[in-house]
């Protein structure tokens, strides 16, 4: 068995820059995120009663789908295992396996705004989730529930409600950890998986950088300030992003609160596990989960060449531990690729082409 990589120390990693503020904050009215066509909003209940959210993208080649209607349709369920009838892709028994996309720690389903429609264009239903405490999903009054086991149970709940027996998972960062956790709970739910810049062994350098901004008070005074803040904490990973991209990311990451001030679209309590040291660079449990997933299911690892969370030697450990795993490195991008980069999209497309 290959020895686990010992990640580098984080003592020399500075905290992420803070947000620029202005003395007279502007009031913002609620507004929609940038429009993305052809998805159905889904609201469902977790086992403990939280209202959770996902976007359902129908496969574009399904003739029965009325794409003009699904933009505004909403599906609600509150009972365990309740049918979510009316979701656009459920009616075709011959449909290819659906794809479930799960975002990173402080992000939300809008991260898949461009990627999900591209995958739907390949003839697959795509579900992009807001993990509890993020985006449109409710915040949990018990911060102890912000952990991969609970997140995985929420995924199971959604799949059961939609009648999905198996899916292909695309997990970015935390989403990949949730996918590996699901493999230990019920490997039968996973047909294949894409791990996006994450694994069972990560660098404490990247963890320290993320801990430097996650959960910290951030109240931008304008959308321009919000874009500058998002750029400050991400430019090391996306050095070639234009200003328009940072503006788009800011509108995914922030929203007006009840008082009209911009606020992050996540519960700051999600940072407790990271800042308390409960989230470690590696563990026996995570390595075993990865090995099981890689042994029993097709697996693709996507790594940003500039990533400080999944550095080259952690990726090499994963490749030694899982020789059959496919691998692609995305140039000029750090943690984590958006999956629309040419190298990433080509690898994911080829991976999906070999799956039912």
Q: Name the residue among 57, 99, 92 with its Cα closest to residue 355.
A: 99
Predicted pLDDT of residue 115: 97
Judged by DSSP in three states, 181 sits in helix
Query: 140 to each of 42, 133, 348, how far by Cα in Å?
Result: 19, 6, 33
Residue 20, token pair as written in the block: 């620029």
Q: For the chain, give every domain's residue range.
A: 39-204+280-353
- Across the range 123-141, mean pLDDT stands at 98
Predicted pLDDT of residue 146: 97
pTM, two decimals, is 0.83
Query: 43 to each of 50, 90, 103, 266, 274, how far by Cα in Å?
Result: 10, 16, 17, 17, 28
Name residue, tokens 């952990």.
147
Name residue, tokens 């911060």.
143
User: What is the DSSP track for 220-257?
Assistant: -SSHHHHHHHHHHHHTTT-TT--HHHHHHHHHHHEEE-
Predicted pLDDT of residue 274: 85
Q: What is the pLDDT of residues 165-221, one digit of tens each?
A: 999 999 999 999 999 999 999 999 999 999 999 999 999 999 999 999 999 999 999
Residue 102, token pair as written in the block: 């799960």
Regarding the domain with residue range 39-204+280-353, which homologous superfamily does it belong to in the CATH classification? Alpha/Beta hydrolase fold, catalytic domain (3.40.50.1820)
- Across the range 82-87, mean pLDDT stands at 35
Report the distance separating Cα 151 and Cα 176, nearest Å.
11
Find out whether 138 and 68 touch, Cβ atoms under 8 Å: no
What's the CA angle centered on 273, arms 269 and 274, to 5 degrees?
A: 100
Report the distance separating Cα 299 and Cα 192, nearest Å.
6
* 108, pLDDT greater than 70: yes
Report the distance separating Cα 290 and Cα 313, nearest Å.
16
Q: What is the pLDDT of residues 306-336, one digit of tens each?
A: 999 999 999 999 999 999 999 999 999 999 9
Higher pLDDT pick, 283 / 350? 350
Q: What is the pLDDT of residues 256-273, one digit of tens each?
A: 999 999 999 999 999 998
């Amino acid at each position: 068995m290959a020895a686990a990589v010992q990640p580098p120390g984080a003592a020399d990693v500075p905290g992420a820059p803070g947000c620029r503020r202005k003395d007279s904050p502007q009031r913002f009215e609620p507004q929609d995120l940038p429009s993305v066509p052809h998805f159905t909003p889904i609201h469902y209940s977790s086992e403990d009663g939280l209202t959770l959210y996902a976007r359902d993208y129908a496969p574009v080649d399904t003739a029965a789908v009325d794409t003009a209607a699904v933009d505004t349709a909403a599906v609600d369920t509150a009972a365990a295992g309740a049918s979510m009838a009316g979701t656009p892709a459920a009616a075709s028994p011959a449909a290819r396996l659906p794809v479930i996309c799960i975002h990173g720690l402080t992000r939300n389903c809008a991260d898949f705004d461009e990627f999900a429609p591209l995958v739907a264009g390949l003839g697959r239903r795509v579900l992009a989730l807001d993990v509890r405490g993020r985006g449109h999903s409710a915040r949990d009054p018990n911060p102890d529930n912000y952990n991969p086991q609970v997140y995985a149970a929420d995924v199971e709940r959604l799949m059961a409600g939609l009648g999905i027996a198996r899916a292909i998972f695309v997990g970015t960062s935390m989403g990949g950890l949730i996918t590996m956790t699901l493999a230990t709970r019920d490997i039968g739910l996973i047909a294949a998986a894409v791990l996006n810049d994450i694994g069972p062994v990560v660098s404490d350098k990247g963890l320290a950088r993320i801990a430097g901004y996650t959960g910290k008070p951030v109240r931008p005074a304008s959308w321009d300030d919000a874009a500058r803040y998002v750029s400050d904490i991400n430019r090391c990973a996306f050095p070639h992003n234009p200003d328009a991209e940072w503006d788009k990311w800011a509108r995914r990451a922030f929203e007006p609160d009840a008082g009209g001030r911009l606020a992050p679209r996540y519960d700051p309590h999600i940072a407790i596990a990271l800042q308390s040291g409960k989230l470690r660079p590696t563990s026996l449990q995570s390595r075993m989960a990865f090995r099981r997933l890689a042994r029993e299911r097709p697996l693709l690892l996507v790594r940003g060449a500039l990533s400080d969370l999944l550095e080259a030697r952690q990726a090499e450990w994963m490749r030694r531990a899982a020789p059959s795993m496919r691998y692609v490195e995305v140039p000029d991008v750090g943690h984590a690729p958006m999956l629309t980069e040419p190298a990433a999209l080509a690898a994911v497309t080829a991976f999906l082409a070999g799956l039912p």
